[in-house]
């Protein structure tokens, strides 16, 4: 039942709704921002200011955005918005990575392979259209996250100008001497007759023939000596090292046998056969069983580590060579190959000695490169058949398929030569072409590389990593260092259709680059700027080379897409006026230490000698509630679109800010629910603030700093000091520090204390009297500050508050800077320490009130009267508030007495005892305080004295609170 005096109260009132209804209202706000051209207005407002450039790492233009994309974009947006609030000109140019295999595969599904149903040129056109469509889809979602940026003019790696600049940057890197041509084994499908990318390979079980093959040592006497065996009766017996392989067809290409330098090898005598074998010590038992030799059929003569008989890095020549079982050398004997050492060798299976064919295995290739072991010729053609050459012709291998006949022929040769120790069928996981489902082979092909060492690139890049770049968190440095230290040369060529061409001419005989390559590249770039990458593929060599054209071949390889995105420091940061090079920051997930951070660094150092970024900030990956990675197959993904359509963007953003992004970021329904709870608290606090400055016009009603009541002055001062912390959190990219601090402010000092205390004054005092205007002034300052504090994170809500704030202001909170219009306050002796003490006293009193409540002697705190028995210092402090102490404690009466160990109850606070009594006075109908003067006024028999004063008189006077 409403009191007749209710209309005389100043109750809170606001249009600002309690519930955000974010999923519906955020899109409306976005439309408004777009309509007013907010991004451009911010640019204009910050023109001429210091720049802060966060360069966007381009997501791949394929598929819907997932939660990881959302995290990345939101973090970037929070940083950019906070820097903008700090007064920086912080442009954000989002980008997309548009070339490459995944798009080709999608387009293949739609129109077929390039060169089959459609021409390469048409295929590229389809790729371009497809990529554009993907960009549109992702852009819509990114904008929905309320990420502010130049969405009208993003950068695309497939923009003609960008494609041209990618080629130019390649030219620059060639100019500095970092390019070299080499070979590399790649996944090769004999049915496609082409190379396969990693993504086109799938693993299936395959039946293979596994064989143990003997490679006899050329100098067995020396080998025995190396094993420390001196026994003349053995001297004339053959010694072989045994390899195990599941790809017999690669044996013709064998160029070495690898052993592990620190693994123990045994010299085993086969008694019956009268020959010796070298095998890994740990595998002797297994091998003998496999060969059908019983325990008494062999004897281990000696052991030696691999480094004793294998060639070590740095050694000019191999200490031992072995005879290839069947490949002929120039003379009558079979050719010999070196025994080398390699870290890739294990004693897990086989024999501990690895058949090494550099043309057919990555490890083989890498280890061979260390010793300069090279195959003279690739013996297998693109269809997986042995080529024809004198040696293969003689062995009758030419033309046979490595998949069957060729393989069997090799087995036959081995058996014929007596080199085959054992043949067995095994089933193992083996790479297959995902299209043909046929087993693939490894086949070395000519490729282009950016060399880590030929022009000192690795060294320079490492210098940048260690000395000029700031890594956040600090372990990012160790991570990228480790990754760079063991990285091979960067193979930048791909045999693909949808990619930026390696726009080079090489001599048809020598394979040397054209001497005027730098100049030619610029000419090509100009054409690509006009017509895109097709300009190169359509180009006739004569156009640029004239008469020389006959001697040169146009390279048709495309660039690794990591090169595209890696050189956006040039194609975007350098090319766009609003950006800077180097950029202030790159910010991506921790997978990019291998990816974009590295490709950007290497290309920038290669081209310009320095890093493209000053700071690299890394975030972790999202995992589910159990800490497991998100995957569609596990069904534990959290889709950002779903969150946006249910809880809303501000809640997703709050979650990003509230989570420690330096490690794994956990998301689950419960976590999002908790974040929605936190959001509601912040929102409601702001709503209550707005509701209480109802009717407040800052132009006419703002109370000067020196006139504020001490409690209000404290609130203003507290807020001002909190702002320093807020700024520091943003500067330090510590967003969880920010959200936690903000939350505590809303719950403790502000929500739990100040707002609760001033309600009485707000509601009951005269509408335009000083007591109320003083509090409103404080609330106004808090709101001005807080709207800005939350804007980088709760972008929608901040703007919504901004709309509800009185006074002249910018069109959007994002055009504003941090609030600095805090008033100068009077020095009153009521400082922060004073009020913090009061807060503790209040807590102690609450403890006692709760006991009375449990006894049912009181309900609301206004039904109580308290007496505080305090030590002198505390007594003096409390007495300073005089009669207004009761307002702070929210009791109907509060008096202070000297400490008396007998009186009241001991409270939580030492030196303070508290007496709680249920009030005996009548309750004022209007202010709900119980007071002796209720009913003294005949006109208003249900009111207390101060309410009479507030209703009829000039209004009560407040001195402190």
- 3-class SS shares of the chain: helix, strand, coil, % to 5: 45, 20, 35
629 binds RNA (CB under 7 A): yes
One of 330, 429, 633, 939 touching RNA (CB under 7 A): 429
List C-alpha distances in Å: 184 to 202, 341, 356, 492, 529: 20, 20, 14, 11, 32
Within 724-743, which residues bind RNA (CB under 7 A)?
A: 736, 740, 743
One of 535, 606, 711, 755 touching RNA (CB under 7 A): 755
Q: Which helix (H) or strand (E) holds 180?
A: strand 179-189
**Partners of 426 in the beta sheet?**
208
Closest distance to RNA from the beta carbon of 32 (Å) = 25
Closest distance to RNA from the beta carbon of 631 (Å) = 8
Q: Which C-beta is closer to RNA: that of 49 or that of 759? A: 759
> What is the total residue count of the chain?
961
3 binds RNA (CB under 7 A): yes
How big is the site for RNA, counted in residues (CB under 7 A)? 99
Structure tokens at 762: 């707000």
Within 502-561, which residues bind RNA (CB under 7 A)?
A: none
941 binds RNA (CB under 7 A): no
Closest distance to RNA from the beta carbon of 768 (Å) = 18
Q: Which C-beta is closer to RNA: that of 825 or that of 862? A: 862
Within 182-241, which residues bind RNA (CB under 7 A)?
A: 203, 208
Q: Which helix (H) or strand (E) holds 305?
A: strand 298-305
394 binds RNA (CB under 7 A): no
Q: Which C-beta is closer to RNA: that of 756 or that of 817? A: 756
Q: Which C-beta is closer to RNA: that of 362 or that of 826? A: 362
Within 829-868, which residues bind RNA (CB under 7 A)?
A: 843, 846-847, 849-850, 853-854, 859-860
Residues 6+ apart with CB under 8 A from 833: none
Q: Which C-beta is closer to RNA: that of 516 or that of 673? A: 673
290 binds RNA (CB under 7 A): no
Residues 6+ apart with CB under 8 A from 480: 465, 471, 593, 597, 598, 601
Closest distance to RNA from the beta carbon of 250 (Å) = 7
One of 218, 623, 867, 932 touching RNA (CB under 7 A): 623
Distance CA 779, CA 712 (A): 8
One of 435, 574, 681, 727 touching RNA (CB under 7 A): 681
**Farthest-apart Cα atoms in the chain, separation:** 134
List C-alpha distances in Å: 660 to 617, 618, 950: 13, 11, 51
Q: Which C-beta is closer to RNA: that of 161 or that of 759? A: 759
- Binding characters for RNA, 129-168, by CB under 7 A (x = yes): ----------------------------------------
Peptide bond into 590 cis (omega under 30): no
685 binds RNA (CB under 7 A): yes
Stretch that binds RNA, among 157-165, 645-653, 665-673, 708-716 (CB under 7 A): 665-673
Structure tokens at 642: 């779903």
Closest distance to RNA from the beta carbon of 895 (Å) = 21
One of 15, 18, 228, 721 touching RNA (CB under 7 A): 18
Stretch that binds RNA, among 242-250, 433-441, 543-551, 603-611 (CB under 7 A): 242-250
Closest distance to RNA from the beta carbon of 380 (Å) = 16
Stretch that binds RNA, among 325-333, 425-433, 549-557, 895-903 (CB under 7 A): 425-433
Closest distance to RNA from the beta carbon of 19 (Å) = 7
Distance CA 322, CA 224 (A): 14
637 binds RNA (CB under 7 A): no
Closest distance to RNA from the beta carbon of 11 (Å) = 5
15 binds RNA (CB under 7 A): no
Within 258-287, which residues bind RNA (CB under 7 A)?
A: 258
Residues 41/815, Cβ–Cβ less than 8 Å = yes
Of 169, 200, 175, 93, which is closest to residue 564 (Cα–Cα)? 169
Task: State the Rg of the chain over Cα.
Answer: 40
Q: Which C-beta is closer to RNA: that of 849 or that of 878? A: 849
Of 214, 223, 238, which is closest to residue 318 (Cα–Cα)? 223
* Torsion angle of the four alpha carbons 690, 691, 694, 699, in this order, in degrees rounded to the nearest 10: -20
List C-alpha distances in Å: 15 to 143, 526, 690, 691: 27, 58, 9, 8
925 binds RNA (CB under 7 A): yes
Residues 6+ apart with CB under 8 A from 341: 258, 259, 260, 261, 306, 307, 310, 311, 312, 313
Residues 6+ apart with CB under 8 A from 306: 259, 260, 261, 262, 263, 265, 341, 345
Within 316-345, which residues bind RNA (CB under 7 A)?
A: 344-345
List C-alpha distances in Å: 105 to 35, 109, 434, 495: 38, 6, 11, 14
One of 73, 913, 926, 946 touching RNA (CB under 7 A): 926
Closest distance to RNA from the beta carbon of 847 (Å) = 5
Closest distance to RNA from the beta carbon of 426 (Å) = 8
Of 625, 274, 136, 196, which is closest to residue 433 (Cα–Cα)? 196
Closest distance to RNA from the beta carbon of 479 (Å) = 4
The owner of tokens 């940083």 is: 79
Stretch that binds RNA, among 45-53, 301-309, 472-480, 505-513 (CB under 7 A): 472-480
Within 766-805, which residues bind RNA (CB under 7 A)?
A: none
Q: Which C-beta is closer to RNA: that of 33 or that of 249? A: 249
- Binding characters for RNA, 352-371, by CB under 7 A (x = yes): x-xx-----xxx--------
One of 301, 391, 553, 747 touching RNA (CB under 7 A): 747
Q: Which C-beta is closer to RNA: that of 17 or that of 898? A: 17
Peptide bond into 410 cis (omega under 30): no
Three-class SS of residue 505?
Answer: strand
Stretch that binds RNA, among 129-137, 234-242, 652-660, 779-787 (CB under 7 A): 652-660
Stretch that binds RNA, among 108-116, 682-690, 808-816, 869-877 (CB under 7 A): 682-690
List C-alpha distances in Å: 804 to 76, 648, 809: 27, 20, 11
Closest distance to RNA from the beta carbon of 244 (Å) = 6
Stretch that binds RNA, among 3-11, 291-299, 375-383, 784-792 (CB under 7 A): 3-11
Within 479-498, which residues bind RNA (CB under 7 A)?
A: 479, 482-483, 486
**Partners of 507 in the beta sheet?**
552
Structure tokens at 165: 């600049």
Q: Which C-beta is closer to RNA: that of 259 or that of 544? A: 259
The owner of tokens 């249009």 is: 15
Within 586-615, which residues bind RNA (CB under 7 A)?
A: 589-591, 593-594
Within 30-89, which residues bind RNA (CB under 7 A)?
A: none
Q: Which C-beta is closer to RNA: that of 244 or that of 536? A: 244
348 binds RNA (CB under 7 A): yes
List C-alpha distances in Å: 693 to 221, 275, 854, 959: 100, 100, 36, 21
Closest distance to RNA from the beta carbon of 769 (Å) = 16
Distance CA 562, CA 159 (A): 16
HEC states along 645-658?
A: HHCCHHHHHHHHHH
Distance CA 763, CA 740 (A): 31
DSSP labels for 156-170? ETTSHHHHHHHHHHH
Residue 221's Cβ-count burial label (10 Å; 0-12, 13-18, 19+) is middle
434 binds RNA (CB under 7 A): no
């Amino acid at each position: 039942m409403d009191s007749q005096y209710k209309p005389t109260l100043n109750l809170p009132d606001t249009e600002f709704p309690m519930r955000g209804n974010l999923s519906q209202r955020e899109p409306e706000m976005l439309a408004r921002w777009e309509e007013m051209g907010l991004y451009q207005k911010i640019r204009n407002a910050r023109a001429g200011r210091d720049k802060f450039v966060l360069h966007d790492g381009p997501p791949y233009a394929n598929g819907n955005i997932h939660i990881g994309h959302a995290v990345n974009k939101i973090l970037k947006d929070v940083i950019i918005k906070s820097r903008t609030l700090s007064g920086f000109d912080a442009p954000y140019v989002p980008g997309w990575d548009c070339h490459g295999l995944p798009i080709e595969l999608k387009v293949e599904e739609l129109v077929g392979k390039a060169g089959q149903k459609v021409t390469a040129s048409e295929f590229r056109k389809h790729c371009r259209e497809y990529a554009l469509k993907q960009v549109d889809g992702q852009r819509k979602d990114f904008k929905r996250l309320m990420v502010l940026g130049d969405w009208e003019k993003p950068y695309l790696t497939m923009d003609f100008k960008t494609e041209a600049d990618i080629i130019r940057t390649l030219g620059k890197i060639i100019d500095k001497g970092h390019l070299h041509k080499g070979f590399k084994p790649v996944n090769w499908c004999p049915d496609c007759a082409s190379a396969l990318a990693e993504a086109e390979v799938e693993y299936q079980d395959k039946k293979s023939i596994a064989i143990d093959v003997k490679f006899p040592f050329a100098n067995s006497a020396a080998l025995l000596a190396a094993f420390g065996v001196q026994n003349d009766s053995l001297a004339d017996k053959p010694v072989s090292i045994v390899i195990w392989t599941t790809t017999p067809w690669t044996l013709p290409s064998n160029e070495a046998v690898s052993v592990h330098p620190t693994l123990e090898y045994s010299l085993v005598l086969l008694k019956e056969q009268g020959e010796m074998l070298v095998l890994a010590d740990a595998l002797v038992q297994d091998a003998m069983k496999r060969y059908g030799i019983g325990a008494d059929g062999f004897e281990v003569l000696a052991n030696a580590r691999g480094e004793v008989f294998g060639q070590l890095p740095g050694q000019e020549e191999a200490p031992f060579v072995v005879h290839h079982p069947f490949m002929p050398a120039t003379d009558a004997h079979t050719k010999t190959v070196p025994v080398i050492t390699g870290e890739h060798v294990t004693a897990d299976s086989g024999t501990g000695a690895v058949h090494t064919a550099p043309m057919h295995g990555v490890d083989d290739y890498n280890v061979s490169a260390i010793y300069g072991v090279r195959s003279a010729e690739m013996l297998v053609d693109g269809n997986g058949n042995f080529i024809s050459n004198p040696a293969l012709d003689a062995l009758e291998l030419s033309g046979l398929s490595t998949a069957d006949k060729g393989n069997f022929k090799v087995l036959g040769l081995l058996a014929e030569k007596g080199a085959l120790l054992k043949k067995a069928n095994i089933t193992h996981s083996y790479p297959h072409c995902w299209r043909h489902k046929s087993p693939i082979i490894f086949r070395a092909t000519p490729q282009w590389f950016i060399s880590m060492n030929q022009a000192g690139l690795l060294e320079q890049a490492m210098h940048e990593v260690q000395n000029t770049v700031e890594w956040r968190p600090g372990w990012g440095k160790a991570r990228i260092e480790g990754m760079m230290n063991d990285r091979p040369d960067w193979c930048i060529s791909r045999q693909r259709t949808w990619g930026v061409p390696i726009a080079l001419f090489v001599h048809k005989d020598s394979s040397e680059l054209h001497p005027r390559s730098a100049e030619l590249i610029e000419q090509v770039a100009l054409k690509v700027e006009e017509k895109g990458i097709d300009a190169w593929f359509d180009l006739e060599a004569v156009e640029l080379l004239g008469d020389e054209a006959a001697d040169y071949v146009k390279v048709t390889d495309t660039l690794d897409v990591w090169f595209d995105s890696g050189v956006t420091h040039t194609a975007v940061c350098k090319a766009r006026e609003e950006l800077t090079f180097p950029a202030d920051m790159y910010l991506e997930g921790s997978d990019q230490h291998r990816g974009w951070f590295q490709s950007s660094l290497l290309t920038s150092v290669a081209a310009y000698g320095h890093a493209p970024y000053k700071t690299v900030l890394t975030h972790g990956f999202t995992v589910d509630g159990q800490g497991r990675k998100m995957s569609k197959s596990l069904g534990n993904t959290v889709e950002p679109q779903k969150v946006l359509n249910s809880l809303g963007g501000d809640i997703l953003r709050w979650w990003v800010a509230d989570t420690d992004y330096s490690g794994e970021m956990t998301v689950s329904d419960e976590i999002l629910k908790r974040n929605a709870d936190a959001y509601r608290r912040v929102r409601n606090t702001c709503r209550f603030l707005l509701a209480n400055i109802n009717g407040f016009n800052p132009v006419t009603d703002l109370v000067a700093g020196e006139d504020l009541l001490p409690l209000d002055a404290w609130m203003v001062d507290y807020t001002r000091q909190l702002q320093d912390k807020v700024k520091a959190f943003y500067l330090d990219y510590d967003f969880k520090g920010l959200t936690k601090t903000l939350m505590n402010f809303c719950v403790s000092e502000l929500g739990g204390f100040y707002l609760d205390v001033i309600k009485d004054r707000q509601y009951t005092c005269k509408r335009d009297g000083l007591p109320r205007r003083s509090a409103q002034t404080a609330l106004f300052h808090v709101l001005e500050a807080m709207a800005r504090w939350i804007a980088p994170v709760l972008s929608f809500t901040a703007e919504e508050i901004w709309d509800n704030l009185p006074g002249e202001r910018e069109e959007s909170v994002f055009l504003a800077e941090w609030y600095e219009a805090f008033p100068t306050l009077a020095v009153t002796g009521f400082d922060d320490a004073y009020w913090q003490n009061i807060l503790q006293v209040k807590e102690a009193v609450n403890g006692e009130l709760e006991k009375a409540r449990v006894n049912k002697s009181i309900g609301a705190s206004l039904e109580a009267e308290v007496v505080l028995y305090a030590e002198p210092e505390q007594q003096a402090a409390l007495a300073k508030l005089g009669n207004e102490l009761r307002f702070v404690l929210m009791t109907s009466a509060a008096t202070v007495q000297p400490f008396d160990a007998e009186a009241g109850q001991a409270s939580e606070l030492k030196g303070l005892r508290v007496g709680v009594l249920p009030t005996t006075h009548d309750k004022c109908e209007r202010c709900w305080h119980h007071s002796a003067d209720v009913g003294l006024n005949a006109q208003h028999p249900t009111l207390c004295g101060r309410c009479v004063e507030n209703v009829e008189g000039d209004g009560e006077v407040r001195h402190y609170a």
